[in-house]
């Protein structure tokens, strides 16, 4: 599977502009990749104080994402602000050509950033499927909580994707945690962060990465680099690695309270 990591600035609180910019980036890689990954809340930025920017699931932003997936014949993973039944969610998504979208809502809300007062947490540990690959989706702060993302016999996956608006001041944790989650779960780990400055004047230096099972970063972004990187993932190699060292079978049993 060929995956594109799209690291770029987000236009603050402007869905139309961000959808247009994403369309340009996807058009440039059409026919080259199976899956494109974009930053957290790609259409608005991390606007935790603007409920009016949230859209119903299936609204204009969702329609635009599905149209791009169908037009360019690739899947798109990221997150957006969704409204449903009077509640707001930071919703991770996977739009793929010709099939209904898949989604899961961010479980761990970043209270220090006002997110817990704004969004409702999701309580489902879903596994997405795309072209034979099982994908686990995490949204930013979820990355800090290993139990929520842990492999087990009911949640076995091949690829962990984490999309984020993770500021420069705490980027050392992003670097360490993304690699750790890939290592402990015997999977590929892809993390995509934004770059630039947002409407709250927070600074973002990126550090998007794609780790294989040997913790080699296949993407190689530099600080503040606005770019698209394409990586090749071999799930045949991953399956072989798991056969040689099947550590997930030996993991401690546990229960996640509050999970649906």
Q: What does the pLDDT profile of the chain (260 residues) look like in tens digits?
A: 999 999 999 999 999 999 999 999 999 999 999 999 999 999 999 998 899 999 999 999 999 999 999 999 999 999 999 999 999 999 999 999 999 999 999 999 998 888 999 999 999 999 999 999 999 999 999 999 999 999 877 668 999 999 999 999 999 999 999 999 999 999 999 999 999 999 999 999 999 999 998 899 999 999 999 999 999 999 999 988 888 887 777 778 778 876 76
Catalytic, out of 47, 62, 104, 106: 106
pTM of the complete model = 0.96
106 catalytic per annotation:
yes
Catalytic, out of 62, 140, 162, 187: 140
Instruction: List Cβ neighbours of 115 (8 Å cut-off, separation of 6 or more).
Output: 48, 90, 109, 141
Burial of 92 (0-12, 13-18, 19+ CB in 10 A): buried
Mind listing the domains of the chain with CATH numbers? 2-250 (3.60.110.10)
Structural tokens at position 164: 């984020």
153 catalytic per annotation:
no
40 catalytic per annotation:
yes
Q: Spell 164-195 as b/e; 16+ CB within 10 A means b.
A: bbbbbeebeebeebbbebbebbbbbbbbbbbb
């Amino acid at each position: 599977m060929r995956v594109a990591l799209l690291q770029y600035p987000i236009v603050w609180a402007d869905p139309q502009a961000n959808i247009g910019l994403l369309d340009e980036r996807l058009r440039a890689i059409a026919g080259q990749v199976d899956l494109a990954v974009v930053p957290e809340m790609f259409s608005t930025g991390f606007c935790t104080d603007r409920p009016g920017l949230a859209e119903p699931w299936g609204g204009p932003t969702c329609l635009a994402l599905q149209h791009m997936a169908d037009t360019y014949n690739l899947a798109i993973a990221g997150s957006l602000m969704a409204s449903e039944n009077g509640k707001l969610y930071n919703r991770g998504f996977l739009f793929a050509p010709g099939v209904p979208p898949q989604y899961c809502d961010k479980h761990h809300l970043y209270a220090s950033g006002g997110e817990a007062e704004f969004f409702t947490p999701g309580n489902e540990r879903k596994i997405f499927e795309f072209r034979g690959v099982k994908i686990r989706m995490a949204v930013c702060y979820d990355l800090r909580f290993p139990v929520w993302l842990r492999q087990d016999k009911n949640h076995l996956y091949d690829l962990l994707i984490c999309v984020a608006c993770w500021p420069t001041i705490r980027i050392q944790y992003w670097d360490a945690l993304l690699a750790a989650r890939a290592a402990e779960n015997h999977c590929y780990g892809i993390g995509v962060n934004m770059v630039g400055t947002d409407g709250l004047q927070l600074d973002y230096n990126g550090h998007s990465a794609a780790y294989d099972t040997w913790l080699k970063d296949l993407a190689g972004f530099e600080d503040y680099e606005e770019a698209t990187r394409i990586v090749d993932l071999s799930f045949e190699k991953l399956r072989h690695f798991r056969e040689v060292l099947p550590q997930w079978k030996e993991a401690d049993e546990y229960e996640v309270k509050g999970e649906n």
